[in-house]
Amino acid sequence: MKKKKIRIIAGYASIFFLVIALFSFSVYTFVSKTQMDKVDSDLLMYQNAVVKISGRNLDFNPLFNPNTITIIREEDGTIDFSNAPPFYFKENFDGVIEIEKNKLQTVSYKGSDFRTLSFDVLRNNKIGNVQILYNIDSDIRVLNNLKKILINGSGLVILAGFLISYFLGNFTIKPMKESIEKERAFLQDASHELRTPIAVIQSRLEGLLRTPEDRIIDRYNYIEPALRESRRISKMVTNLMILTRADAGNVEDNKEKINLYNLASDVSILYGEFAQISEKGFAFQSEENIYVMGNYEKLHQLLVILLDNALKYTGESGKINLRIYSRRDNAIIEVEDNGIGIKEENLKNVFTRFFREDKARNRSSGGTGLGLPIAKWIAESHGGNIAARKGNENGTIMEVSLPKITEKVKTRVEK
């Protein structure tokens, strides 16, 4: 995980560096080109002006602007000092580089930089040469200062980008870390839950092998627990497959308009009989014509999970209530019992996979700790939610809220 975090931070930092480098390069290139284009434009304008008066007397040195120097050469290449070039050119005029004609170039001379252009003109009926030099020291200073600003600014931005990358790396890795920790906890819990029934089955089978001549009826006490645990494993695997497909989004969800009153009535008939056999009370109350858009089998499974839990954890002479009613735009399903209850701090944890307050008691009742997580997934897949809270008689109330359809429609279940 640490290496993955470093790779993510390095990836973000590289992106920041690349963006800042491209931005700085683009700004510098644009400003540099703009500056040089302006100088070149002035030189070309000066060339046009000189060419227009070609053939006339050019015994003067008109300053196009203070940064411009004009050097006139005779046909044999000697400099005509009568046009008064600057003093330092007179001192070392051989140092003035003759350049390719009609081509804009940048040259350095005595510590200064010039943009220069050379072209031929007709002077006193002879071919002469005019070289224009434009001092660009101030432009170079501006560009150098801009380069320093961009380098220093880019350094600060890259440093800030690294800090942001570190933050984004932590932000990105956090859900991945939580997911891995949940997966690790899930595997540990699943292994723990499977280890006990597998050990029971193995010990019973080994016991049978030690006395192969015994009849099945004589070894019932060995066979029955093994069969019970194998059924528990089968139920657990089925529930795990449901949750795994749900996590992957591979569960088909054909929804239709369903009357919750009719659905709950059918389920309550079955669980009313279970409650009577267990000497527990059961009551069903519902408003009629409460419609939701949902999957019939899943909503049926949701009710079965909630009622099954209520029956398991309610003692003899206890009571279970199933209520269906409306609350604003939602249909509410409530299952209340006055059983052993859930500790206040664990009310949110009951929807976590494999969570059980008393693992030994839950294992003996055949629970796997996956029923309520499946109920939560069913509720959320229908655009609703599920919550647990303390009941009035130290029991538990499970409340499911689903989006309600207000119009009366024909439903799948008809009473």
For residue range 163-174, what is the model confidence (pLDDT) as tens digits? 777 777 677 667
What are the tens digits of pLDDT across the range 325-363?
999 889 999 999 988 888 888 888 888 877 766 554 444
Residue 269 vs residue 100, higher pLDDT: 269
Residue 56 vs residue 258, higher pLDDT: 258
Question: What average pLDDT is seen over the chain?
Answer: 78
Q: What is the pLDDT of residue 333?
A: 94
Residue 314 vs residue 216, higher pLDDT: 314
Whether 60 contacts 83, CB under 8 Å: yes
> To the nearest 10°, the Cα dihedral for 189, 399, 285, 366?
10
Stretch (H or E) spanning 324 = strand 319-327
Residue ranges of the domains in the chain? 2-143, 256-403
3-class state of residue 125 by DSSP = coil
Distances, alpha carbon 27 to alpha carbons 37, 146, 147, 161, in Å: 15, 9, 9, 19
What are the tens digits of pLDDT across the range 374-401?
889 889 888 999 999 888 777 899 999 9
Distances, alpha carbon 268 to alpha carbons 276, 277, 307, 333, in Å: 12, 14, 9, 13
pLDDT of 190 over the 60 cut: yes
CATH number, domain 256-403, options 3.40.50.720, 3.30.830.10, 3.50.50.60, 3.30.565.10: 3.30.565.10
β-pair type (291-294, 256-259): antiparallel
Model confidence, pTM: 0.52
